[in-house]
Structure formats: C-alpha cells, structure tokens
Structure 1
C-alpha cells in the first residue's frame, strides 16, 4: 500500500512538472480543431505559448532563474530547427506570419517545454546527483552531441559512439529524488533514457496534431520510428547537463556569499 501511495504521489509531481508541455499539447489539439479568423495556426500557437509562459511566471509556477534556462533552450531549439528544416529532416507546412526560414517561432517552445519539465521536476522532487563527472567532461559530451545533430548530414552519424562515451562518463552518476519523505535513486543514464522515451511518445502526439511533419508523414500520419528515441535520449542529455551545470554554478555562487 505504501508503494501505491508513493507511486501516485510520484505521478502527481510528474504531472505538475509537465504543465507547460500539457499546455502545448492542448493548444495543438485546439488549434487543429478550431480555426480563428485572421490568425494562422502557428501564430496562435506562439501567442498561447507566450501567454502560458507569462502566466507560469506570474503564478510562481516557474522561477525567474528557471525562465532564463528555458529561454536558453528556446534559442538552442530554434537554431536546430532552422538547420533541420533547411536540410529537409522535417517541415512545417502551415502558413504563419511568425515563420522564419520555414520555421514557426513557436517551435522553440517545444524544446523550452523539455527544459521547463526538467527544472520543475528538479525542484518538486528535490533531485540530488551523486558522482557527477568533471565539468569539462560533461560539457564536452554535451557539445559533441549537439554538434553531431548538425554534422551527421555530411559525415557518419556518431550517435552510438557518443552513447558509449556517455555511459563511460556517467557510469558512476546516480540521481536521487524524494517522494513522500523517502528517497529513491537510479543510474543517471537510465533517467536520460526514460525521459527520452516519454518525449518520443509526446512527439507522436505532436505530429498527430500536426505540430510538424516528417517526410514519411506527408500523405498520412504514421508512428514516428523507434530510432528517434535515441535522438531524444541524446537531446535530454544536453538538457540535463546544462541545467545541472547551471545549478552547480548557482550553488557555488551562493556558497561564496557566505
């Protein structure tokens, strides 16, 4: 019975941490079903995302420091989107006033929502990481993973090499979290994989609602290939490393004041 109560409490905290992604899913469903006169769908999505972000800050669902991290991910995501759309990896077929290089500006919020989830889950579940690798190693792996998203169009894809390197660098790292006053832990790499899997599930929901379209979905919607889980797995690594490094710096600054 204690396990069931803890599982429910864990699920509730996870749900609260997913407020921003849920808003995006709801907006995708709403804008697909309802057309607003004089507004393109992608423009409506951008407006909803901006209002949601402002609301979360106003109601203290996110802190200002978390907002800064989320804005950073918005920029990182838009850069990747601009490149991938240019290379034909996926497309945004709808019209929009707020489209740059074929990419609607709301798309950056989809990456920002991942950062929002990580920041909120970190705070709500009181995450603690043991055995974190040296900052140089963590930052180097993160940079190499991000670069590979760009370079694999011209040179061999190194995602599996990077995955092995990731396991080596983080093999001693464990993440612990609190649920109903009790702490649980798991290997950090496993947490990367679990988050990546659920983002893949979210990606299928997003493409079903027309958030973007892969070449194989041009005629009709099909499930996104399981191979994409590895891409999200690696993207989650970048997200967690950036958040963890920023929290480490913030913690060091706080200690220096005392």
Structure 2
C-alpha cells in the first residue's frame, strides 16, 4: 500500500488495519454474538450462553498458545474479567439489565461470557499499546489516576443509593488527563490527546454494546425487541475506559514516559515543522 497509494491514504488504511488487529478478541466475540443469535435453537443440547463461554475460553487459549497475548497481559485481562463480572452481578440484581436465556455456566445469574466482554476491552488496550508502540506523555501523578479509577468503579455501585457523580468524574478525567498525549506509530510517529482517543473508543464500544442488545444477548430494563443501547451507556463506557487504562498501565509502566531519544526526536520534528 505504501508503494502504490498516496502517503496519507496509506497511513489511514494501515491505521485501520492495525486497529482491527488490536481488537481481534472483541471482534471475534461480536461475530459469535451475531452468528449464534441467528442460528441457535432452544432445543439444542448446549445453551447458547454456555457455548459463548466455551468459545471465549478457547479463543483466549489460542491467543496465549500463538503468542498473540503474553501471560503478563493475560493476568491483567483476568483482572478485567473478575472486576467486570462483579459489577455485572450487582447490576443484574439491581435490575439494570437482564440475561434472558438459560445456561449452566453462570455466577449469581450472570453468564460467564459477560466477563469476557470486559476482558475484550482489556485485550484491545494491551494489544493496541504494543502494536502502535504507544507512549503517554506527560502522564499524570499515578496516585491521582488510581484514585480516579477507583472512584469511577465505585460510582457504578454507589449511584443506586446516592447521587450519581458521573459528570463530576467526567470533568475530573479532563482535569487529570487533559495534558496527556498519546504518541503512536503507524509507519511514522503521530500524536493524539488521550481524551480524544477515549472519546473515539467510546463510540465503537457503544456500537459493540448495541450489537449485544440488538441480538437479545442482554436486555436493558424497559427494552424489548431490536433496540440500540441507550446513549447513556456511551458515558458509562467512556468512564470505564479510564478504569481499564489504569489496570493496563500495571504491565506497561515503561510506556508512561518517553526515552530521551524519543523526546529529542519529537523536538526535532516540531522544529522542522513536521507533525510529531
């Protein structure tokens, strides 16, 4: 593509291909949701939810066996699975949404494949950081990022009993991460505000959420039939991305700053008028 296409178009296509490769786990899970919703019969001996659990485990094993994910990344993805499933159990019992189909592989009424949907976000974040050789500069004070992540996670429970602090927390994401730039490589080096990257990711997560609702895999309170996910869920996913980011930062601490050589290269690029 670089040889045959104008440079800008080639960069854009390569960016899309790398992004698609980074979200391979999530993409496969969405294909499974759509495919099984079209063909699955209630009379089959294996419940659709249980098949989705087994398929997700199989994909994870395949990723580890082929080196698409490292063991270090798998531990963080397991953390996503546990924290996501805990929230799912709570939300289910609070009536926020429901899983209408039968299945044996459930915990607290929540099918275990739901945790893999959260894990897919972790898989994407870990892979996209590695594939694009990302650096996050300047990175905020770490205790502030962890405090914000904990507050966001706890608010998903707290707002059922007290005031919803999501807009306060959204404001804090701008205050804390407002200066942070994501530096990444397609075939050359680019930069994007981290808040913008989170906003763009939120759009695609809302689309993925809508795949789940439109296939009837999960149903929100008051929704019936084909429905897109409520727009309010986009705000929830925007906040959850920051919870995800601080978890992934556990294994990519070296990406939270630049080397002297990288910083020197960016200064030269800026001085020469090129985009860093």
Q: TM-score range by the shorter chain?
A: over 0.9
- Structure 1: stretches of 5+ with no match in the other structure: 253-258
**Alpha carbons 1:21, 1:113 under 8 Å: kept:** yes
Aligned to 1:109: 116
Aligned to 1:223: 228
The 3-state SS of whatever aligns with 2:182 is strand
Q: Are residue 204 (structure 1) and residue 210 (structure 2) matched?
A: yes
**Alpha carbons 2:85, 2:112 under 8 Å: kept:** yes
Cα offset, 1:216, TM superposition: 2.7
Aligned to 2:63: 56
TM-score (norm 1): 0.93
Aligned to 1:256: none
Deviates more, 1:52-61 or 1:241-250: 241-250
Q: Whole-Å Cα distance in 1 between the matches of residues 191 and 85 of structure 2?
A: 33
Aligned to 2:24: 19
Q: Whole-Å Cα distance in 2 between the matches of residues 191 and 248 of structure 1?
A: 19
Q: Report the structure number with the largest CA radius of gyration.
A: 2
Q: Are residue 188 (structure 1) and residue 188 (structure 2) matched?
A: no
Q: Whole-Å Cα distance in 2 between the matches of residues 250 and 13 of structure 1?
A: 18
Q: Whole-Å Cα distance in 2 between the matches of residues 179 and 157 of structure 1?
A: 39
Q: Whole-Å Cα distance in 1 between the matches of residues 195 and 130 of structure 2?
A: 20
Q: Whole-Å Cα distance in 1 between the matches of residues 83 and 181 of structure 2?
A: 26
Deviates more, 1:28-37 or 1:182-191: 28-37
Deviates more, 1:22-31 or 1:1-10: 22-31
Deviates more, 1:32-41 or 1:226-235: 32-41
- 1:113/1:2 Cα in 2 relative to 1: closer, same or farther (>3 Å)? same
Q: Are residue 138 (structure 1) and residue 142 (structure 2) matched?
A: no
- 1:236/1:40 Cα in 2 relative to 1: closer, same or farther (>3 Å)? same
Cα offset, 1:96, TM superposition: 0.4
Runs of 4+, deviation exceeding 3 Å? 249-252
Cα offset, 1:83, TM superposition: 0.4
Aligned to 1:213: 219
Aligned to 1:255: none
- Structure 2: stretches of 5+ with no match in the other structure: 1-5, 258-276
Aligned to 2:272: none
Cα offset, 1:251, TM superposition: 9.1
**Cα-Cα RMSD:** 1.6
Aligned to 1:3: 8
The 3-state SS of whatever aligns with 1:216 is coil
Alignment coverage as a number of residue pairs: 250
Cα offset, 1:210, TM superposition: 2.0
TM-score (norm 2): 0.87
